[in-house]
Every structure is written in structure tokens, then in C-alpha cells.
Amino acid sequence: NGEVEPTVKSIELVEKEMEELLVVLNALNEKFGDTPEVLFNREILDLKKEEATEMLENLVKNKPDCYEASCLLGELLCEQERFKEAANVYQQALIYNPAEWDLYYNLGIVYTRLSDFQMAKEMYEKAAAINHKMYGANYNLGLIAFIQRDFDTAEKFFENSLYGDLEAMSYYQLAK
């Protein structure tokens, strides 16, 4: 039927991918900071987004199944408001990692930013189906329904998200 079966990666393969990612992170660190932790400091990343993005794009191009690099690249592209490119990165990552709920969740965020609410809904629903404790997906589904003035649906999603997000409680009360 053309569907890709999810595969379980060996520990050796995951370790190898992590080593490759660490090489890139260390290269970024040598260029921009003193310690690996500095790389994740948003102020430093904000100053060097283009260089970091370019290095991650090269890594993802050469290693499209490297989940961690795809996530970092998608995040950087979103921070630069390059949402269509981020969507492409996350979609490509899903080919190799179809069971990763956060890729669907991040795609939901991207499609929301692109005002493609139907695709955003589909992605949030897939994230919630994989990770039943993903209350943020229900919260975001509630926000989309709320924006579209579908208050009954919004109420349902906000209620489902209450277990994990207290801010949703206020939206729940508004929708109700």
C-alpha cells in the first residue's frame, strides 16, 4: 500500500547519529562559544542563526535520517519565520521517524503559523494519538477551534488539555 513501516534503530546507529551531531555542535561551539551548553543559549543562537542553520542544513542534506539535526534545524527555521522550509524539514524527518510525536506537533505549530488550520489539526491529532499525554496538542486544537468560533469543539479540546496545562483552564472557561 506504499506506507513506510516504522523501524527500530539499533543503539549503534543512534550512537553514530549522535556522534555526527556532536561533531556539528562542537564545530558550532568552536566558532561561537566556550562550552556546548553555550550553543543552546538563545542569545548566542540568535546572533548566529544563519551560520547554524547552514551547518544544520548541510548535515540534514547528507544525513536526512538524523532526527536530532532535523529538529534543531526546524526550530531554527521557525525562529527565523521560515515556516515553509521548516515544514519541509519536519516532513522529511517524518519519512525516517514516523513514530516521533514531536515532529507532528512541531508541524502543527508550523501549519498554524502558515494559517493552514486543516493541516495543523491533522498534525496535532497525530501527535496526540502517538503520545496520549500530549496535552499541548489538545490545547492547540482548542485554540484553532476557538479562533474559528467553534466553541463546542474548543470546549472539548480545552477540557482534554486541562490535565497538563493550567492556562488552558481560562480558555476552557471562555469557550464554555
Per-residue pLDDT tens for 54-101?
888 888 888 888 888 888 889 889 988 999 999 999 999 999 989 999
Q: Which residues of 36-61 are buried (b: 16+ CB within 10 A; e: fewer)?
A: eeebeeeebbeebeeebbebbbebbe
Confidence of residue 1 (pLDDT cuts 50, 70, 90): very low
CA dihedral 12, 18, 19, 22 (to 10 degrees): -170
Confidence of residue 15 (pLDDT cuts 50, 70, 90): low
- What does the pLDDT read at residue 172? 63
Of the candidate ranges 23-37, 41-55, 130-144, the one whose mean pLDDT is the lowest? 23-37
**pLDDT at residue 114 tops 80:** yes
pLDDT in tens, 156-171: 888 777 765 556 566 6
Query: What average pLDDT does the segment 129-151 reach?
Result: 87
> Which residue shows C-alpha cell 521517524?
97
- Predicted model pTM: 0.67
- What does the pLDDT read at residue 9? 46
